[in-house]
Structure 1
Amino acid sequence: MQQSRGDETTQRIRAVVTDPVAALGLDLEAVELSAAGKRSVLRVAIDKDGGITMDDVADATREVSRVLDESDVMGERAYTLEVTSRGVDRPLTEPRHWRRNRDRLVAVTPHEGEKLTGRITEAGESSATLDVDGTSREVAYDQVARAVVQVEFNRTSTSPGGDA
């Protein structure tokens, strides 16, 4: 399959900004480039253990902007840069995503078998443990087709990840 121009540009942008973002103590979670009329919108999602702050977003915005200005990766194209948090709606695809969402409710669709919904109680490098209706279930990451955090509006908790 041939890679499109947009995919190539997105990969080049990712390659240019990954290390500078990491130098700030942040993980580069996503790079998305989309057309918006005569301009493009470049969305860069970041995260870190404990969550990001507005200062993290500001620092990352300045650094990504500087790196892009010093490179030719965007060419002559006019663009708007948006640096954001990873967001609760993004799938859990890395062990760090599971770890950072410990104590949150997740819906897991395995490659084979029945869909599970449970609370992450432990998260390691190759699997997580979910509390599914009071029963511990181990979920190997390589067996997961898709996993997403379920938003809980009425949950009260003082534990990490519990939103009041």
Structure 2
Amino acid sequence: MAFPTAEELTALIAPVVATRHLDVEGLRVTKAGPKSTVAIKLDSDSRPDLDLLEVVSQEIGELFDAAEARGELSFGAGYLLEVSTPGVDMPLTQPRHWRRNRTRLVSLDVDGKKRIARIGALNAEETAVILIERNKKALSVTVLELANSPRAVVEIEFAKPAQDELDLAGRTFDEAVEETDH
């Protein structure tokens, strides 16, 4: 049996993570010496806590061990299983990433220039998102079509966000779009 690929392992763990309402945001297999590493990044709209990650890690480990015992997988001399959340440096590439980071700052790379905005609501189809930017004292609202989204990552924010930005980010997509008409 060949060493399992990331795609094979993702398919194998899909039922386990689905029962916990989690999404696989990444799975990396590193074959290194006697022990290999399987690193899995999981997330959900409700943000998994350490207790849930521990339970899921145990379930995935048991699943891998059982599949290996049946001869369906071979990790060689063994494996190290790492289960965690993606972290803030994960690029926002799916509508769920934007939804999960609503009200946070995002750094966008637009034509080689860094642009910072606050994430607002997604539209009902999850094809566009509201971006809120501060120009001195005034707030501006723009609509970003996700199909044309530049590279975007959450920006670490140390100061408390301005309340007017949070209020605008908390509005529905349609309410925020109306702000652009004024």
| TM interval, short-chain normalised | 0.7 to 0.9
- Aligned residue-pair number: 153
Structure of larger gyration radius: 2
Aligned to 1:131: 132
Greater helix percent: which structure? Answer: 2
Q: Per the alignment, do residues 138 and 41 of structure 1 end up closer, same or farther by CA in structure 2, a change over 3 Å counting?
A: same
Q: CA deviation at 1:153?
A: 2.1
Alignment of 1:19 with 2:48, yes or no, is no
The structural deviation recorded for 1:65 is: 0.9
Contact 1:14 1:31 in 2 (8 A): yes
Contact 1:47 1:85 in 2 (8 A): yes
Structure 1 pair 75–37 and aligned structure 2 pair: CA distance change class (3 A) = closer
Question: What is the match of residue 147 of structure 2?
Answer: 142
Percentage of identical aligned residues: 31
User: CA RMSD, aligned part only?
Assistant: 2.4
| Correspondence 1:62 to 2:58 | yes
Following TM superposition, the consecutive aligned residue runs of length 4 or more in structure 1 with deviations greater than 3 angstroms are: 112-115, 156-159
1:88 matched residue in structure 2: 88
The answer (yes or no) to whether the contact 1:127–1:138 under 8 Å persists in 2 is yes
Q: Give the TM-score normalised by structure 1.
A: 0.82
TM-score relative to the length of structure 2? 0.75
The 3-state SS of whatever aligns with 1:119 is strand
What are structure 1's unaligned runs of at least 5 residues? 160-164
Change in CA separation of 1:130 and 1:80 when aligned onto 2, cut-off 3 Å: same
